[in-house]
A and B are shown apart, each in its own frame.
Chain A
Amino acid sequence: QEKEELIEEWQPEPLVPPVPKDHPALNYNIVSGPPTHKITVNGKECINFASFNFLGLLNNEKVKSAAQASLKKYGVGTCGPRGFYGTFDVHLELEERLAKFMRTEEAIIYSYGFATIASAIPAYSKRGDIVFVDEAACFAIQKGLQASRSNIKLFKHNDMADLERLLKEQETEDQKNPRKARVTRRFIVVEGLYMNTGDICPLPELIKLKYKYKVRIFLEESLSFGVLGEHGRGITEHFGINIDDIDLISANMENSLASIGGFCCGRSFIIDHQRLSGQGYCFSASLPPLLAAAAIEALNIMEDNPDIFQTLRAKCERIHKALQGISGLKVVGESFSPALHLQLEESCGSRENDVKLLKRVVDYCMNSGIALTQARYLEKEEKCLPPPSIRVVITVEQTEQELDKAASLLKEAAQSVLN
């Protein structure tokens, strides 16, 4: 009898809490037409400084015609996971090409960029293993670590001394319990070019630490693939490191290759394991073949024109210099990084006010023809929330005048809004 009363009385919370009407994410920009160099946002035509289209391949004719040909041959979807007749010859070809391009033994393709690293990490690192991760790691890495249930140790961003301290602590722990230490695997997860801060990781020192303390390295190259290095092979080429020293490189094809999806590459010993235990690979439909064909064509273009990487780097340097000295905003990021952040030099006190202020700067720029966006984060879920900022993306297609115009416009906007 009492039980019935309890059941009657219990009231759950509403399924979703109400969202205030002026939440910034609700009124987002609607883009009509393709998000290429000239973009029409909310009806206004602007120059695109917000999409990660680094090599300008989104509007490339050859890429589009390759996708069209594959559409005629294969239709749109694959209707099945890789294991059950979802493997097409384009997938196998793309995997081979990627492996050859990155000079590794094997590559494996995922159908979604976020799922790539979020499925790769739990395939190797299980409960009881130890992962050392940089504080500024992106959200996908954080989700992968959460799904893997391993012990996570954060070290300060790009601070090798802090990492070494943690590794030494781990070593002393190991000596207390050598039997357990023999079976706990250790990993370091870093990004090539960090999306949240725009700088690169010091890879040569990491390699030294790897051999000294016997840890494996997982490198995430979403932003640096197709950007760094002489031929666009990423941060290993940039530093001249033997690619076999890195255990696993994971990247997504959504930035430089203007396609959708992601891939992991490395030695067969490591990559083959994901074919049976990568959750986003085994239990999800494979990449639509037209996107795979587009990626192959994009790779062809990258291999044929190795000088676009040099051009991109020059443009980044130029705008980095031009953006220095804006009153009220500071530039965060390396000089050759194509994705910069502009943060407020002094915060107004609360994050909400900062966000509102930055929104006014962005609106000013959009009204004058430059499309920018604020970097978005999920405030409650991130482990180390970066401060609010405006994201500036440089692509190969922007001309020098446009770069200069953008820089001067930002200066004006900062002047009028912040002073």
Chain B
Amino acid sequence: MANPSAVCNGHLHHHHNQKQNNLLKSGISKKNGITKGMKKNGVSNGTLYKKTFIEHFEQAPMYVAVFTFVGFAVGTIFGYLRDFMRAWGLEKRNIAAEREQQKDFVPLYQDFENFYTRNLYLRIRDNWNRPICSVPGPQFDLMERVTDDYNWTFRFTGRTIKNVINMGSYNYLGFAETDVNALKTVTIELEKYGTGVCSTRQEMGTLDKHVELEKLVAKFLGVEDAMVFGMGFATNSMNIPALVGKGCLILSDELNHTSLVLGARLSGATIRIFKHNNMQSLEKLLRDAIIYGQPRTRRAWRKIIILVEGIYSMEGSIVRLPEIVSLKKKYKAYLYLDEAHSIGAVGATGRGVVEYFGMSPNDVDVLMGTFTKSFGAAGGYIAGRKDLVDFLRTHSHSAVYATSMCPAVAEQIIRAMKCLMGLDGTAQGLQRVRQLEKNTRYFRRKLHEMGFIIYGNDDSPVVPLLLYMPGKIGAFARRMLEKNIGVVVVGFPATPITESRARFCVSAAHTREMLDTVSTA
């Protein structure tokens, strides 16, 4: 474990995990603050769930929250102090500045916007954007960076740190590999097709590779038809506006990804947010929407669409699909499921949350996913009934204005999917899925035994570990790097301010020893 006391900002922050550890070890499950126990839903909704659905969302003891706020407050005060000194020329200005000729233009950035960036983010900036120089597999090589002036600029020393265990890349099934045999077809296709496409889908950009890929995706998911796009983020932001418009209602989860939020905003429909994974809140919103209609005119809504994700990347929780489907059928709404993290990662044969809950893919109206995470490529897809996909072929913004996917990347997806479906003759696909499941359970169990606070569902390969205090974010990441483990820490803008966390992504390519090394570090 890390140092018992980490010195940050000149203040001593004691390591609180030790205290919790002691409590657990002595068998006392009561904590000093509010404890929300584990939610076990196998009993209350026994008919809907075939497996027990265990999710943990323990809350931290009160003193941890207090210390977190204090930490941020201290950082803020120092920030003001430093700004003051900079304005008066007592401290050097290190950031880039506006051009001389344009000094009297309206300033491009508000001073306050940058406040957080300048003072709090900059201190621990070296934990993000770390460049690597090898394949992002279970281990990689990091380029070493040092900073001479407290993170304002970085300098590469030219050396590389080899064989850092990778707990940050979204490499769930381990398809990010450079094995020559595995990549044989991709090499051939790259030679044949070149790298770009230079045209949009509707003009001259549909290659036979795209058609092959779409058929394969549809078969893999068990739906009628599918359409692929060049970028996962763009898939959401360009297709939601094509499906809904003014006069429709979008009900989206609190913690939806930025691409979903952007797509919803661009569509012009009314957006209402329900609490994360909370079915009562969703049901109430649905009832109110149907009964009262649109806000001012009281006319009925044209369509109601529910936007959820399969696995939420910051929480690690899995959507309660059976309940949502029953609600949707009762109130005649449409369901849009974004399986960016869950496709390939959950489910008995890797087909996502739909399979995990044992449901039929025809229950979900729009199945969306990305190929970046589990398949080691890039791009996104939307699948569903044939008339839906035909509509998207004609009306999606991406089909008309954006270039199509690179054919070599499409080949990588085809090969990965064939491997998963077992079409290439080996059982390797199934093996990878099983390995991922085993690794996930093992890792979660181990961390839980050690007393850390872990969020999320037991079966999700995304493992967020809570560190609350701002000082710990930097200290944790740096210590892990010293021990040759690369982790990802997330702080304020992406997570609520008191709940910064380190996020581990388990992969099928991790071996047990690697997981052991990480958990004991």
Contacts and interface: CB of A to CB of B under 8 A. Distances in A.
Contacts of B132: 85, 87-89
Given A35-B207, A147-B265, A64 B136 contact: no
B136 A83 contact: no
Interface string A104-146: 0100000111110010000010000000000000111001001
Nearest to A115: B234
Contacts of A334: none
For chain B, the bracket of interface size reads: 35 or more
B99 A267 contact: yes
Given A76-B176, A77-B372, A114 B193 contact: no
Nearest to A91: B131
B200 A376 contact: yes
A252 B207 CA distance: 21
A300 interface: no
Given A64-B191, A294-B195, 14 more contacts: A10-B300, A30-B211, A31-B208, A72-B178, A88-B132, A115-B234, A139-B400, A214-B104, A270-B108, A273-B109, A276-B117, A290-B190, A374-B203, A376-B203
Contacts of B294: none
A244 B331 CA distance: 57
B486 interface: yes
B285 interface: no
Given A6-B291, A77-B176, A28 B168 contact: no
B408 interface: yes
A68 interface: yes
Given A77-B412, A291-B406, A35 B205 contact: yes
29 contacts: A7-B331, A10-B290, A11-B332, A12-B303, A30-B207, A68-B187, A73-B134, A74-B134, A74-B135, A75-B136, A75-B376, A76-B378, A76-B409, A77-B372, A85-B132, A85-B166, A112-B233, A114-B238, A183-B106, A214-B105, A268-B96, A280-B231, A285-B378, A287-B378, A290-B408, A291-B406, A294-B195, A374-B203, A378-B397
B489 to A, nearest CB: 9
B334 interface: yes
Interface in A287-344: 287-288, 290-291, 294
Contact of B108 (A41, A185, A257, A275): A185
A78 B233 CA distance: 15
A285 B392 CA distance: 23
Interface in B360-419: 365-366, 370-373, 375-378, 387-388, 390-395, 397-403, 406-409, 412
A394 B176 CA distance: 38
B97 interface: yes
A244 B98 CA distance: 11
A216 B96 contact: no
Contacts of A41: 204
Interface in A1-42: 3, 6-7, 10-13, 15-19, 23, 25-26, 28-36, 39, 41
A16 B105 CA distance: 47
Given A16-B243, A143-B397, A376-B400, A80 B169 contact: yes
Interface stretch (B8-16, B60-68, B256-264, B438-446): B256-264
A79 B376 contact: yes
Nearest to B172: A79
B176 A31 contact: no
Contacts of A29: 204, 206
A363 to B, nearest CB: 14
B326 to A, nearest CB: 14
A-B complex: 5 closest residue pairs judged by Cβ atoms: A284-B233, A112-B231, A16-B391, A114-B402, A269-B96
For chain A, the bracket of interface size reads: 35 or more
A265 B292 CA distance: 50
B408 A77 contact: no
A381 B397 contact: yes
A112 B234 contact: yes
A290 B196 CA distance: 11
Contact of A36 (B110, B117, B194, B488): B194
Interface stretch (A45-53, A229-237, A345-353, A401-409): A45-53
Contacts of A375: 203
A182 B192 CA distance: 56
Nearest to B170: A79
Point out which of B195, B392, B407 has the most chain A C-beta atoms below 10 A from its C-beta: B195
A45 to B, nearest CB: 14
B102 to A, nearest CB: 8
A282 B483 CA distance: 27
Nearest to B412: A76
B400 A26 contact: no
B402 A112 contact: yes
B7 to A, nearest CB: 26
A280 B235 CA distance: 12
B151 interface: no
B259 A124 contact: no
Interface string A181-196: 1111110000000000
Contact of A84 (B290, B393, B394, B488): B488
Nearest to A214: B105
Contacts of B350: none
Contact of B398 (A114, A185, A214, A255): A114
Contacts of B486: 85
B176 A85 contact: no
Contacts of A259: 195-196
Contacts of B495: none
A184 B376 CA distance: 43
Given A80-B136, A254-B198, A376-B202, A3 B287 contact: yes
Given A371-B204, A376-B203, A378-B397, A35 B197 contact: yes
A13 B303 contact: yes
B129 A83 contact: yes
Given A76-B376, A143-B266, A68 B197 contact: no
B28 to A, nearest CB: 37
A260 B403 CA distance: 8
